[in-house]
């Protein structure tokens, strides 16, 4: 016959499950922030979503700022028009590497 679970065991399990729920909520929020920032990069930089992801990743790596934080700064920039100069510089450089050589629909010179 199995011994009944100790109340402390149940409390520990509830605590573990709550931590997992909190981590999943954070992951969903983080994913949404990154996806929104990719969308901004795609629209403003005229790049593909894969290129937008690469741009965010490169800005994160070159500035040593977590990717989610870079994404948050880009979303803030979209609302306020302000961006830290080091992020702006890296974003421009990354878009130069990944972006189109001319505006779509422009006549070649």
pLDDT in tens, 44-87: 899 999 999 999 999 999 999 999 999 999 999 989 989 999 99
Domain-located, residue 79: yes
pLDDT surpassing 60 at residue 105: no
Q: Is residue 106 part of a domain?
A: no
109 vs 14, more confident: 14
Cα 10–Cα 11–Cα 14 angle in degrees, nearest 5:
85
- Residue 57 in contact with residue 21, Cβ under 8 Å? no
In the predicted model, what is the mean pLDDT of residues 7-27?
81
| For residues 40-44, average pLDDT | 91
Q: How confident is the model at residue 4 (pLDDT cuts 50, 70, 90)?
A: low
| 89 within some domain | yes
Domain-embedded: residue 44: yes
> How far apart (Å, rounded) are the C-alpha atoms in residues 99 and 44?
10
* 40 found inside a domain: yes
Structural domain includes residue 16: no
């Amino acid at each position: 016959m199995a011994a009944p679970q100790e109340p402390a065991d149940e409390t520990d399990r509830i605590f573990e499950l709550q931590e997992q729920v909190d981590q999943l909520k954070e992951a969903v929020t983080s994913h949404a922030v990154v996806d929104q920032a990719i969308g901004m990069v795609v629209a403003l930089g005229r790049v593909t979503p894969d290129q937008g992801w690469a741009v965010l990743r490169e800005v994160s790596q070159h500035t040593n700022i977590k990717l989610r934080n870079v994404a948050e700064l880009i979303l803030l920039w979209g609302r306020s028009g302000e961006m830290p100069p080091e992020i702006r510089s890296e974003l421009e450089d990354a878009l130069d590497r990944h972006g189109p050589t001319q505006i779509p629909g422009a006549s070649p010179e």
